[in-house]
């Protein structure tokens, strides 16, 4: 490999790889922070307002009785941007969308990667699918006659944090390859990917980013549950495309259940949005201080 800087990177990462443990499916328990490069600074955070308004005027995502996920997430994301710029001024904020217009999932990841994001936070609202109810509506020939129908399930409550699942690791590997070796054309990138030393580098980044994603998600979970007293479904892995395509630690925050009337009111209120934003900023500030202190 001719690039000396790349050689140094791969050598350092090959050493780092030996200290990175593997992870099981169960990830709800806190994970200790990962080591980072000496002198590392958390410079750029990417805030992703989930979903949006399609060109035909319809909204992607979930909806409540009077609001949509696309509008709620945008309101929270814009407030989060201002709060970070105010409370953590040395941290650059990049937004994947600042208007109602929807942005494609691939485009969101491209925005994050092209801006060299150090952390990706995707804001969403949760919702439960309708549940099926079966009841007796009569009798025929001495036997009960049943009718099945759907009813809204409004029992969901609280927050949830998602990190990408292992089953999308190949897609993450592609994103990392493109981001790490972006100066090379496609054929050169493929040659790099076939090189054992480069594979070590990419796998080291994959392990490190996953570990940091889980750790930050657990920090968020602690802030929401212990700081705000919110109910939580914990940290879970899921095959979220926008997370695994972002070549950096990434967490999706389900801020509440928009199809629960009480939660919908909270998500749309100034007090609710301000509390959500303040909680994320607290976790972000702690995470930034931690990883930068470790790098000293």
CA 82 – CA 93 distance, rounded (Å) = 9
* 9-57 per-position pLDDT tens digit: 444 444 333 333 333 333 544 444 444 566 789 999 999 999 999 999 9
Question: What domains lie within the chain, and their CATH numbers?
Answer: 40-128+154-294 (3.40.630.40)
* 151-170 per-position pLDDT tens digit: 788 889 999 999 987 654 55
Closest to 28 in 3D by CA, of 163, 125, 147, 129: 163
Q: Give backbone dihedrals phi and psi of 197, rounded to 5 degrees, phi first.
A: -65, -35
What torsion do the CA atoms of 256, 88, 110, 103 make, to the nearest 10 degrees?
40
CA 124 – CA 50 distance, rounded (Å) = 5
Closest to 163 in 3D by CA, of 61, 27, 30, 72: 27
* 58-100 per-position pLDDT tens digit: 888 999 999 999 999 999 999 999 999 999 999 999 999 999 9
Total-model pTM: 0.78
């Amino acid at each position: 490999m001719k690039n000396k800087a790349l050689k140094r990177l791969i050598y350092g990462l090959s050493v780092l790889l030996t200290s990175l443990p593997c992870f099981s499916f169960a990830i709800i328990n806190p994970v200790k922070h990962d080591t980072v490069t000496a002198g590392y600074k958390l410079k750029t955070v990417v805030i992703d307002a989930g979903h949006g308004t399609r060109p035909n005027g319809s909204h992607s995502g979930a909806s409540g009785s009077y609001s949509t996920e696309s509008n709620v997430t945008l309101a929270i994301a814009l407030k989060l941007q201002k709060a970070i710029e105010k409370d953590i001024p040395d941290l650059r904020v990049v937004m994947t969308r600042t208007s109602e217009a929807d942005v494609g999932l691939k485009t969101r990841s491209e925005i994050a990667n092209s801006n060299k994001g150090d952390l990706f936070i995707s804001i969403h609202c949760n919702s439960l699918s309708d549940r099926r109810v079966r009841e007796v509506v009569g009798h025929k020939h001495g036997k009960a006659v049943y009718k099945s129908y759907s009813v809204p399930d409004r029992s969901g409550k609280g927050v949830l944090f998602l990190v990408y699942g292992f089953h999308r690791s190949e897609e993450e590997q592609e994103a990392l390859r493109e981001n790490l070796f972006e100066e090379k054309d496609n054929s050169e990138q493929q040659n790099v990917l076939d090189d054992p030393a480069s594979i070590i580098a990419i796998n080291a980044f994959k392990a490190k980013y996953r570990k940091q994603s889980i750790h930050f998600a657990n920090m968020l979970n602690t802030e929401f549950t212990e700081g705000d007293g919110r109910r939580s479904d914990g940290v879970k892995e899921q095959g979220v495309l926008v997370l695994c395509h972002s070549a950096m630690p990434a967490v999706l925050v389900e801020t509440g259940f928009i199809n629960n009337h009480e939660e919908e009111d909270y998500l749309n209120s100034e007090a609710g949005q301000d509390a959500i934003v303040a909680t994320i900023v607290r976790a972000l500030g702690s995470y930034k201080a931690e990883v930068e202190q470790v790098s000293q």
